[in-house]
A and B are shown apart, each in its own frame.
Chain A
């Protein structure tokens, strides 16, 4: 997935963000790692989704 595609997801709805976050999480749980360009995106998703969950 390109940087621009991930940015569009960040600007989009919660559904897309959850899908992308789960994609990263599955990779991490399988013992993989995130690329340098994916780390800030992952941190943003984690912050937004956890905040939304707590507020919801």
Chain B
């Protein structure tokens, strides 16, 4: 049976070389609004940026083999193993800290949702979630891919939840004021209905399996955004620029998030001010058994 039954299994996996180490860096070049969440997958660095570039409103899976993302090591499931997150480290060379951080498996996105219309925009779901296929724990975030003017129209999303029930409705919320690519528009807090940085789900729902449609219910803007389905794996915080933050998942959180083969891993951060020119460097280690 894959996984770890005890600490001895964990140590044996290390002795047998079933672990992977890689480093990364990101160099965003945007002036982000303070306290607004930002999607680092669109920033330059290693791994290369990706731009949620595909045919409008047609679901696209996200995979390491296609879009890149953090290097978490080889595919192991065909060998009978499961892979887990072992250690994560990140630091920045400048303020603005403290910065909240979420490491997530980006699963699927709907490209180029238009902020310029109040018509209901219907999604094409010919493609489904590649991982976490029921949608349990899967959240929605709205990432700016063509900046608006900060007019912050309100929106509502119709989706199928993780129990397979269609026609569920997100909490009515407002798109964020940030006007740069990569800003997570669902991290706006003015109406108190976003789940920050994710879209607030209908009460009782534990995740999203697919999105049926998006409607801007009041107001419009000139921008475009991608609706991205992600599975958060780990949360931490960069406290200050003078010291890295390191998370050893077993020792510090007593849980090893599973990393599926071909997962697209990336990070989102919540800075206290502009991050233009701030260099983020880090390390990620995985282990399998």
Contact = CB atoms under 8 A, between A and B. Distances in A.
A42 B52 CA distance: 11
Contact of B112 (A7, A39, A48): A7
Contact of A10 (B51, B56, B117, B147): B56
A17 B17 CA distance: 49
A4 interface: yes
Nearest to B116: A4
Interface string B78-115: 00000000000000000000000000000000011010
Interface residues of B, number: 19
Contacts of B52: 40
A36 B225 CA distance: 13
Given A37-B223, A37-B224, A3 B54 contact: no
B163 interface: no
A36 B222 contact: no
A11 B111 CA distance: 11
Contacts of A48: 55
Given A3-B146, A3-B223, A3-B224, A40 B114 contact: no
B116 A40 contact: no
Q: In terms of DSSP, what is the predominant structure of the interface of chain B?
A: loop
Interface string A14-48: 00000000000000000000001101111110011
Interface in B113-127: 114, 116-117
A55 interface: no
Contacts of A53: none
Given A7-B112, A36-B146, A37-B181, A47 B222 contact: no
Contacts of B181: 36-37, 39-40
Contacts of B146: 3, 36-37, 40-41
B185 to A, nearest CB: 14
Given A37-B146, A44-B111, A7 B224 contact: yes
A27 B206 CA distance: 47
Greatest chain A CB density within 10 A among B111, B112, B147 is at: B112
A3 B56 contact: no
Greatest chain B CB density within 10 A among A4, A37, A40, A41 is at: A40
A56 to B, nearest CB: 17
B153 to A, nearest CB: 14
A44 B54 contact: yes
23 contacts: A3-B146, A3-B222, A3-B224, A4-B116, A4-B117, A10-B56, A11-B55, A11-B56, A36-B146, A36-B180, A36-B181, A37-B145, A37-B146, A40-B145, A40-B146, A40-B224, A41-B53, A41-B146, A42-B53, A43-B51, A43-B53, A44-B53, A44-B112
Interface of B: 51-56, 111-112, 114, 116-117, 145-147, 180-181, 222-224
Given A10-B55, A40-B53, A44-B54, 10 more contacts: A2-B116, A2-B222, A3-B114, A4-B114, A4-B116, A7-B112, A7-B224, A36-B180, A42-B53, A43-B53
Interface of A: 2-4, 7, 10-11, 36-37, 39-44, 47-48
